[in-house]
Structure 1
Amino acid sequence: MDLKTLKALAPSEYAEAADGYRAVRDMADAARERVDKQISTAMQKANEGEAAEAAQKQLKKLSANFHYTQVECGLISGALNGFSSEIIAPRRRLTEALEEAAALGFPVSASGDVTFPAGGKNELTGDKIPGGTIVGNNGMLGPSNRGIYGPDSNGLYGPDATNQEINPHRGNPHLAKAQDIADRIAHALREAEEIDDRYQEALRKLKAAPGLEVGTKTWADTAADTAAVGSAAANYLEDNIPLDKSPAARKSWWDHLSQEQRDEYLALYPDVIGNLDGIPVAARDEANRENVELLIGKLSERDDEESRTMLDGLKGIQRKLHERSVPPMYLLGIGDEGNGRAIVSYGNPDVKPTRTTRLRR
């Protein structure tokens, strides 16, 4: 991320792209629901035989494709929104620093170096103290910090800087302001590059192979994708989850989120939201149903007895979730900690008293 790129970057364009992926996610979700609840159900009631069974298999495959599209587009939308939100601050600081430099008449190079004019008076010679070009210190200790590692030990360019032990610009009244502007530019560029690298790495993981067939291996990969995007967006979303608050405070937090924000939390942190007391039951159930698929994919990649046992249990829970029950089944908790666990409620406890069962394997 260089100065020219950050200056020209428009965060709103990434937010608009996120909205586009969110729209595709919503369409895929609606299509999957129609396949599962309308088309498949109607065909199952009206048809029997080998042809009907083959058609049902194809519908299940179509539903899985829509589901995968829904999840991945939700992750992309969350990543783009996270980048758009986080990049605003360093871009604003860069813009403010550049505007201040322009107001003072200090040229700024493409790499962020700030040139300042001669000023003040040399008490020995009576001459003006020379100006120069100063490099910003971005606060890091690594070689990327040109304010420490170059072009000279003072981070200064100047026509009279023949001896690094002597700063020929000392006493120039413009020096401190130029240094301040250069440092702010360097900090903004460093922060922007860190944000850009973090989200680029997460988004690269979301690229699907051509001709992808959705199966357990795909969901294992999707589980890794979810973890990658969730990690990238930690500053943007995860750090705001009220983990240490009361259930009432969590409910209040959730109620004050927009639907878009809720969708992002459900997409990026289903394991957290699904197990958090205070979050509405319907939202927890949605998150946990999503997480079941991810956990099954992750456990399918393992080859040990404990994982196989948990996998069998999760598949059993998934089958029950697909069955119609009266009252309806809500999944209030799911995880692969220890021997695996699940919390199931028959009926919505947010509406009326229900029977809740804790399952451990």
Structure 2
Amino acid sequence: MDYTTLKSLKPSEFEDAAGGYRTLGDMASQAKDDIEQQVTAGMRKSLEGKAVDEAVRKLRKLATNFHYTQVECALITTALNSLAYELRAAKNKLDAAVEDAAAAQFTVDSDGSVSYPSAGDKVDGKVPEGGTVTGSARESTGNPIDPAGDANDTAKALERQASNLHDNPNYVRALAIANRLAQAVHQATRADEKWAPELRKLKADDDLVVAAEDWADAKRDMGGVRSSAKEYLDAIKAPLKDSNPEENATWWKGLSKNEQDACLALDPAGLGKRDGIPAAVRDEANRTVLAETRAEIKLKLDEFDKQHPEPTKYEQKWDNIGQVPLQGEKQLTPAWQAWNRERSRFSDPLKGMDAIQRRFDRTGEDGLPEAYLLGFSAEGRGRAIVANGNPDDADHIAVYTPGTGASLSNSNGDINRGVNLWKTSHGLTDQEVSTVTWIGYDAPPEVFPDATRDKYADNAAGTYGQFIDGLNAANKSGSDAHITAIAHSYGTTVIGAAANEGDLGVDDIVFAGSPGARVDNAEDLDVGKGHVWNEHAKGDDLVNGFGRFGHGGGVSGIDPTDPVFGANQMATDTEGHSGYWDYDDDRNKPSLSIKNQGRVIVGDYDKVQMKPRDDGSLLPVDWREPPNWGV
């Protein structure tokens, strides 16, 4: 780029182009939402069968195309805005130098050189003549070519020497202006050379099918744009590393639309996990991370299958005593088991991602609202935080925390429990309800010895508290929204650990199949008197027997079914350790176990059915007048 080009450059034209791509991206986003929330949802409401399932599958592909378009347009928008930002900085420097030249009655020539008039004390009877100087740009210290800045120092020294020898004082001023002009042109040239190849990369193939390779390419594009846009991003005020949800909410509201778009386009993983950010924004960010992560793992799985064909799965089982084959009995071969363990590193996370997608696809089914992905990660055992309905708009919010064995790969059942909670509680009130499945911690992988240890709950406590604080910070009613913490098995221990760290930020707590909640009394759980509820189903032997641990056994605290604990004991009609969320879909009828939870969720305490005493009378409900939850 030369002086004349930069002088006539209009950075606003790049911003206008960015605005065009933003409009296109918004249109793609709206089309995606219309397909998912209206078209497929409408079909799910009124139709059923294989034909509907196939239509939804095809519509999902179309929605994926629009989602990919939205993501790529956001990257192009941010890239163009970044380019405009850098060019404007260079242009402003150039314009300021030109103004200073005009004020000094210097002339800036078309090649960027500066002509100055005669001036100074006479030498040999003559005023020193004017002349023309050409400036030079200097690299900032730390440039790979000149890391110590030695060349800059040498250039400055030569200029000072020349200035001292020159009789015309205009020479020094003209040279300074010429250097500023050269520096501005150099800065604009560097921006152009950096962004031209990056922008050329931001294009998709022309086969009209968004495959895993396309999402993987989108992730690479994001990395490239983020690296190139460092100067632009540095100008955006970033939140503190350890900022709390209230600070996150304030930070987000203080950003311009362009700045919000840049954060969403270039750091979806960071934004998606930041508590206090609006649910719709976190959902959009996490869906991008989900799509790109799924593509990345799918490609790895395909490569694994290509390089490692499945070995023989079964072999004849032998009687170890008589050394004779057992008729009709087979066992897995060691080779297949080893192959499957290695392959599961890729296939297991994909199961969880498929479960999340199935929930997306169910929107509209039996009136089910849109799902919001409030947290996602495939690292370690994975994270999946899925809300039914927007918690920011809800009057009543329930957060369900599962226990031992919970992970991304096993998330299908826990996501469905959140769905059943929504269907149950939604049918009990005219107000807005949102239910959240919170797999936001590393749960114990196995009952023994893992579930006997405190460390999983201790590690989860702070994260859980931050999430609840984020719900309060983002909700339209703030802390007036009614939040119920619902937990199963070891999840109840997480709630107790979180309560021990401070204000839990919820109004009611429901335990189901609890092995102990780390406290000796319900009043130690940071909710009002009588707002701790407990369910213990018939045949829940995991809790009755080896699953419950007392003081010093790892999971501590008084048994929540013990009257000394002080919880309201709710009636159940399900059996076993995992039936508390049973829902008869064919008859659209919740079990009593989950219906009682729903009544707590909506604050309809008087209708909660209590567990009978040995003499057949009901245990009393002990709760104070509930607060007015902003309604």
**TM beyond 0.5:** yes
Query: Using a 3 Å threshold, how does the CA distance of structure 1 residues 169 and 308 change in structure 2: closer, same or farther?
Result: farther
Give a deviation string over 1:254-274, Cα, whole Å, max 9, x none: 123344543343233211211
Which of 434, 439, 443 is equivalent to 1:357? 439
Task: Name the structure 2 match of 1:180.
Answer: 176
Query: Using a 3 Å threshold, how does the CA distance of structure 1 residues 327 and 24 change in structure 2: closer, same or farther?
Result: closer
Query: Using a 3 Å threshold, how does the CA distance of structure 1 residues 301 and 261 change in structure 2: closer, same or farther?
Result: same
Task: Name the structure 2 match of 1:194.
Answer: 190
Task: Name the structure 2 match of 1:257.
Answer: 255
Shift of 1:177: 0.7
Deviation larger for 301-310 or 269-278: 301-310
Task: Name the structure 2 match of 1:341.
Answer: 383
Shift of 1:218: 0.9
**Separation (CA, whole Å) in 2 of partners of 1:232 and 1:285:** 26
Q: Which amino acid aligns with 1:357?
A: I
Q: Which has the higher contact order (CA 8 A, sep 6+)?
A: 1
**Separation (CA, whole Å) in 2 of partners of 1:166 and 1:235:** 35
Q: Which amino acid aligns with 2:281?
A: A
- Native 8 Å contact 2:36 2:361 kept in 1: no
**Separation (CA, whole Å) in 1 of partners of 2:48 and 2:439:** 36
Q: Which amino acid aligns with 1:354?
A: A
**Separation (CA, whole Å) in 2 of partners of 1:166 and 1:54:** 80
Give a deviation string over 1:319-342, Cα, whole Å, max 9, x none: 334334868653322234445433
**Separation (CA, whole Å) in 1 of partners of 2:131 and 2:380:** 64
Which of 352, 358, 361 is equivalent to 1:322? 361
Task: Give the structure with the larger helix fraction.
Answer: 1
Which of 310, 316, 332 is equivalent to 2:349? 310
Matched ranges for 1:1-361 at <5 A: 1-43=1-43, 45-46=46-47, 55-121=55-121, 125-140=124-139, 154=158, 170-237=166-233, 239-244=236-241, 245-302=243-300, 303=303, 305=342, 306-324=345-363, 329-345=371-387, 350=392, 351=394, 352-355=396-399, 356-358=438-440, 360=442
- Native 8 Å contact 2:212 2:295 kept in 1: yes
**Separation (CA, whole Å) in 2 of partners of 1:47 and 1:343:** 28
**Separation (CA, whole Å) in 1 of partners of 2:19 and 2:80:** 9
Shift of 1:95: 0.9
**Separation (CA, whole Å) in 1 of partners of 2:191 and 2:130:** 34
**Separation (CA, whole Å) in 2 of partners of 1:108 and 1:197:** 25
Which runs of no fewer than 5 residues in structure 1 stay unpaired? Answer: 157-164
Shift of 1:201: 3.1
Query: Using a 3 Å threshold, how does the CA distance of structure 1 residues 148 and 288 change in structure 2: closer, same or farther?
Result: closer
Query: Using a 3 Å threshold, how does the CA distance of structure 1 residues 102 and 40 change in structure 2: closer, same or farther?
Result: same
Q: Which amino acid aligns with 2:353?
A: L
- Native 8 Å contact 1:130 1:169 kept in 2: no
**Separation (CA, whole Å) in 2 of partners of 1:354 and 1:276:** 19
Task: Name the structure 2 match of 1:161.
Answer: none
Output the aligned Cα RMSD: 3.5
Deviation larger for 298-307 or 67-76: 298-307
Give a deviation string over 1:57-116, Cα, whole Å, max 9, x none: 443332222222222122212222222233222211101211222343433344422233
**Separation (CA, whole Å) in 2 of partners of 1:54 and 1:322:** 12
Q: Which amino acid aligns with 1:69?
A: T
**Separation (CA, whole Å) in 1 of partners of 2:82 and 2:181:** 22
Shift of 1:49: 5.7
- Native 8 Å contact 1:331 1:343 kept in 2: yes
Shift of 1:43: 4.8
**Separation (CA, whole Å) in 2 of partners of 1:2 and 1:226:** 30
Q: Which amino acid aligns with 1:246?
A: N
Q: Which amino acid aligns with 2:374?
A: L
Give a deviation string over 1:186-213, Cα, whole Å, max 9, x none: 2212222233333323312212222342
Deviation larger for 240-249 or 291-300: 240-249
Deviation larger for 296-305 or 189-198: 296-305
Shift of 1:6: 1.5
**Separation (CA, whole Å) in 1 of partners of 2:358 and 2:18:** 33
- Native 8 Å contact 1:135 1:155 kept in 2: no
Deviation larger for 272-281 or 213-222: 272-281
- Native 8 Å contact 2:360 2:370 kept in 1: no
> For 1:182, what is the secondary structure of its paired residue?
helix
Query: Using a 3 Å threshold, how does the CA distance of structure 1 residues 128 and 307 change in structure 2: closer, same or farther?
Result: farther
Query: Using a 3 Å threshold, how does the CA distance of structure 1 residues 65 and 176 change in structure 2: closer, same or farther?
Result: same
**Separation (CA, whole Å) in 2 of partners of 1:76 and 1:301:** 25
> For 2:374, what is the secondary structure of its paired residue?
strand
Give a deviation string over 1:241-291, Cα, whole Å, max 9, x none: 213333222211212334454334323321121111222233212211222
Query: Using a 3 Å threshold, how does the CA distance of structure 1 residues 35 and 166 change in structure 2: closer, same or farther?
Result: closer
Query: Using a 3 Å threshold, how does the CA distance of structure 1 residues 343 and 255 change in structure 2: closer, same or farther?
Result: same
Query: Using a 3 Å threshold, how does the CA distance of structure 1 residues 348 and 70 change in structure 2: closer, same or farther?
Result: closer
Deviation larger for 125-134 or 252-261: 125-134
Task: Name the structure 1 match of 2:454.
Answer: none
**Separation (CA, whole Å) in 1 of partners of 2:216 and 2:346:** 13
- Native 8 Å contact 1:223 1:298 kept in 2: no
> For 1:70, what is the secondary structure of its paired residue?
helix
Shift of 1:219: 0.8
**Separation (CA, whole Å) in 1 of partners of 2:194 and 2:267:** 17
**Separation (CA, whole Å) in 2 of partners of 1:43 and 1:328:** 14
Query: Using a 3 Å threshold, how does the CA distance of structure 1 residues 170 and 312 change in structure 2: closer, same or farther?
Result: farther
Q: Which amino acid aligns with 1:330?
A: Y
Q: Which amino acid aligns with 1:320?
A: R
Query: Using a 3 Å threshold, how does the CA distance of structure 1 residues 336 and 133 change in structure 2: closer, same or farther?
Result: farther
Q: Which amino acid aligns with 1:297?
A: A
Shift of 1:174: 0.5
Q: Which amino acid aligns with 2:267?
A: Y
Query: Using a 3 Å threshold, how does the CA distance of structure 1 residues 3 and 338 change in structure 2: closer, same or farther?
Result: farther
